[in-house]
Amino acid sequence: MIRYTPLTAEEPENRTQMKNILLIIFFLSSALQGFAEDGSRLWLRADTKAHATVAANKKSPSIDIAIAELQTQWQGGKVNLMIQKGIAGQARNDNHEGYTITSNTQKEITIKSPSEKGLLYGAYHLLRLQATNKLAYPLNIQESPKYNLRILNHWDNLNGTVERGYAGHSIWRWDELPEVVSPRYKEYARANASIGINATVLNNVNASPLILKPEMLAKVKIIADILRPYGIKVFLSVNFSSPTVIGGLATSDPLDKAVRQWWKDKANEIYKIIPDFGGFLVKANSEGQPGPQDFGRTHAEGANMLADALKPHNGIVMWRAFVYNPTNDDRAKQAYMEFVPLDGQFHDNVIIQVKNGPIDFQPREPFSPLFGAMKQTKVMAELQITQEYLGHSNHLAFLAPMWQEFLESDTYANGKSSFVANTIMAIAGVANIGDDTNWTGSHLAQANWYAFGRLAWNPQLTSENIADEWIRQTFSQDDAFVEPVKDMMLNSWETVINYMMPLGLHHIFAVGHHYGPEPWGVIPGGRPDWQPWYFHNVDTVGVGFDRTKSGSDAISQYYSPLKEELYNIHTCPDKWLLWFHHTPWNYTMKSGRSLWDELCYKYDLGVQQVRDFQKIWDKQENQVDAERFQHIQSRLKIQARDAVWWKDACLLYFQTFSRQPIPYDIERPVNDLDELKQIKLKISNYENAKR
Ligand code: GCV
Distance from the alpha carbon of residue 384 to the mean position of ligand 1, in angstroms: 10
Q: How far apart are CA 567 and CA 429, in angstroms?
A: 31
Helix H, strand E, coil C: the string for 547-602 is CCCCCCCHHHHCCCCHHHHHHCCCCCCHHHHHHHCCEECCCECCCCCEHHHHHHHH
By the 8 A CB rule, do 486 and 464 touch? yes
Contacts of 94 (CB under 8 A, 6+ apart): 148
Which one from 388, 405, 546, 604 is the annotated catalytic residue?
A: 388
Residue 687 annotated as catalytic: no
Q: How far apart are CA 63 and CA 199, in angstroms?
A: 18
Contacts of 498 (CB under 8 A, 6+ apart): 602, 603, 605, 606, 609
> Considering only CA atoms, which residue is closest to atom 2 of ligand 1?
360
DSSP SS3 for 449: helix
Distance from the alpha carbon of residue 281 to the mean position of ligand 1, in angstroms: 14
Q: For the chain, how are helix, strand and coil distributed in percent, rounded to 5?
A: 40, 10, 45
Any ligand 1 atom below 6 A from CB of 324: no
- pLDDT value of residue 523: 81
- pLDDT value of residue 463: 98
Q: How far apart are CA 622 and CA 270, in angstroms?
A: 53
Any ligand 1 atom below 6 A from CB of 322: yes
Contacts of 675 (CB under 8 A, 6+ apart): none
Residue 287 annotated as catalytic: yes
By the 8 A CB rule, do 579 and 369 touch? no
Any ligand 1 atom below 6 A from CB of 283: yes
- pLDDT value of residue 34: 46
Which one from 38, 269, 287, 478 is the annotated catalytic residue?
A: 287
Residue 107: how many other CB atoms lie within 10 Å = 9
Domains in the chain, CATH or no CATH each: 54-143 (3.30.379.10), 149-217+232-265+283-294+321-337+355-460 (3.20.20.80), 499-545+582-676 (3.90.1330.10)
By the 8 A CB rule, do 66 and 194 touch? no
The ligand 1 atom nearest the CA atom of 289: 14
Which whole-number Å values give the CA distances from 543 to 450, 472, 598, in the listed order? 37, 43, 13
Any ligand 1 atom below 6 A from CB of 205: yes
Q: Closest Cα to residue 555, out of 333, 407, 373, 338?
A: 333
Helices (H) and strands (E) in the chain, counts: 20, 15
Mean pLDDT by 10 residues, the chain (691 residues): 30 46 46 66 95 97 98 97 81 80 90 96 98 95 96 98 97 98 98 98 98 98 98 98 98 98 98 98 97 98 98 98 89 97 98 98 98 97 98 98 98 94 98 98 98 98 98 97 98 98 96 91 84 95 98 98 98 98 98 98 98 98 96 98 98 98 97 95 81 61
Distance from the alpha carbon of residue 288 to the mean position of ligand 1, in angstroms: 11
Which one from 37, 338, 360, 648 is the annotated catalytic residue?
A: 360
Distance from the alpha carbon of residue 104 to the mean position of ligand 1, in angstroms: 51
Residue 158 DSSP label = T
pTM for the model stands at: 0.94
By the 8 A CB rule, do 254 and 297 touch? yes
> Considering only CA atoms, which residue is closest to atom 12 of ligand 1?
360
Residue 459: how many other CB atoms lie within 10 Å = 22
Main-chain phi, psi angles of 517, to 5 degrees: -85, 145
Pocket probe mutation, ligand 1, options 360, 361, 507, 530, max atoms within 8 Å of Cβ = 360
DSSP SS3 for 486: helix
Any ligand 1 atom below 6 A from CB of 515: no
Q: What long-range pairs does 268-275 form, CB within 8 A, spacing at least 24?
A: 268/313, 269/214, 269/217, 270/212, 270/217, 271/313, 271/315, 273/217, 273/218, 273/221, 274/217, 274/220, 274/221, 274/224, 274/234
Residue 598 annotated as catalytic: no
What's the longest Cα–Cα distance across the chain? Answer: 92
